[in-house]
Amino acid sequence: MLDETTLRIITRWLNYVVAIPFITLGIIGAILTVVIFTRQPLFWRNATITYLLAGATMTGIHLPMIYSQSILVNGFGLRFLDTNLVACREHNYLLYMTTVTAISFPCWAAFDQYVNTSRNANFRHRWSSIHFVRWVIVGTVIFWSLAYIPIIFVSEIIDGVCILRPGAFTQFNTYFLTPFVYSVGPLIIIMLFTYGTAKNLRSFHGERQQDHLMKQVRRMLIPQLIVLGISGVPFGFQGIYLDLTSRIPKDGFRLALEDFFGQVILLLFHCNYVCTFYIYLCMSSEVRRVFKNLLLKCFRKNHIMSLQTATSEHQQHPSHMEMTPGPRTSLQ
């Protein structure tokens, strides 16, 4: 039978054995995604991949800055967020802003797939041009940066805990904004544009010269959208449960149980960030080819450097036989 102490130990060990490898794999994956997408000229003019590249960049910011702080607090008991108001406000603001921004780019990528399979050439040219995509990326970052500014002012340390101060904005964020942007909104976007893309592909013109890259991009995007839709539901509605039960007396076991499930939900949600590169690697032969070439290039470079180092050391420290030649013998 589980007790409070056991639950808290399990919750803490989730940070050691799961969360730390998660953040490590996620950061490595984000870096590799950026490297692969920027090294391959075939990817440069693809609007969908540009959105996914922006998402990987935001993931590379979110994981070390935000998720690492959560690991330090939940796994190692470093309560700096609960004792420093500046750190508390910085964490909450970047938590919401970077998370929602990173979620937005796969949704834009789903929209771009719908646009790319449209019959209307003018529609495709207008809404899938690289110029438009770049403006969307910049506009998305600016929009969410401004939208979550109130988080800075409602973040407070109350009873030794960094939380959002009760009020109108906190209620709006808990009951509408967070459920919508984390679960309801992405699910609606995913279903609408995936259905629209499938409908376009069934038409004669929708099957127009669908090149190899576009098919691979679609194969990369769909699993990512599925993970995003599934993991966002419990994370988006968790705050509603906590707010509704905040005035109910809770014993230590229930609080420990809520902390445990909160940690599981957080880990599940971060699959969006951690699994992205590995989905791309599994679903796209083009990504695998570039990744293989990158590894071979690194291996050859290290091999050449090792040979050069060995040659340099050999020249600086020749063998005794070379420095002290023995007596010559005649062949006659």
**What is the CATH classification number for the domain harbouring 21?**
1.20.1070.10
- 320 within some domain: no
Q: Is residue 305 part of a domain?
A: no
In this predicted structure, what is the pLDDT of residue 98? 92
> Could you give the CA distance from residue 179 to residue 167 in angstroms, rounded to a whole number?
18
Residues 2 and 250 sit within 8 Å (Cβ to Cβ):
no
Domain contains 301: no
Confidence at residue 321, expressed as pLDDT on a 0 to 100 scale: 41
Q: Is residue 46 part of a domain?
A: yes
Residue 283 forms part of a structural domain = yes
Whole-Å CA distances, 64 to 37, 69, 209, 213, 244: 21, 8, 41, 31, 32
Q: Give the pTM.
A: 0.82
Indicate the number of domains in the chain.
1
> Is residue 326 in some structural domain?
no
Domain residues for the domain of 171 are: 4-290
| Single-letter residue type at 94 | L
Beta carbons of 124 and 115 less than 8 angstroms apart: yes
Query: In the numeric block, which tokens belong to residue 97?
Result: 């802003």
- Would 307 be classed as within a structural domain? no
CA distance 240 to 255: 16
- Residue numbers in the chain where pLDDT is lower than 50: 205-209, 319-332
Chain segment 194-204, per-residue pLDDT in tens: 888 888 888 75
Structure tokens at 198: 């499938």
How high is the pLDDT of residue 308? Answer: 58
What distance, in Å, lies between the first and last C-alpha atoms of the chain? Answer: 94
- Cβ–Cβ contacts within 10 Å for residue 164, how many? 20
Is 135 within a domain? yes
